[in-house]
Amino acid sequence: MQPHYMVGIKMANKSTSVSVEAEDALIAALKVKHENPTATITYVRKSNARGDLRHPHRDMARRSD
């Protein structure tokens, strides 16, 4: 089971975050950047189950490579 990371992105002056399942933070950021090439990555952190349940984020589609 791989950990989940929250990746903050900024696109067209709008900030949002996505949840990504990845081996580490760099891979999580690269997955998001691949899906959204024009986005700016603002942060990457491990997902916090308690906080994320209170403030849910949209999940990024998981692709099998």
The first and second tokens of residue 42, run together, are 């603002």
pLDDT of the residue at 37: 93
All domains in the chain, ordered by first residue: 4-53 (3.10.20)
Of 17, 15, 2, the residue nearest 52 (C-alpha)? 17
pLDDT of the residue at 3: 86
- Sheet with 4-11: strands ordered across: 40-46, 4-11, 14-21, 58-59
pLDDT of the residue at 26: 93
Q: What does the pLDDT look like over 1-57, one tens digit per residue?
A: 788 899 999 998 899 888 899 999 999 999 999 999 999 999 999 887 666 666 555
Q: Whole-model pTM above 0.85?
A: no
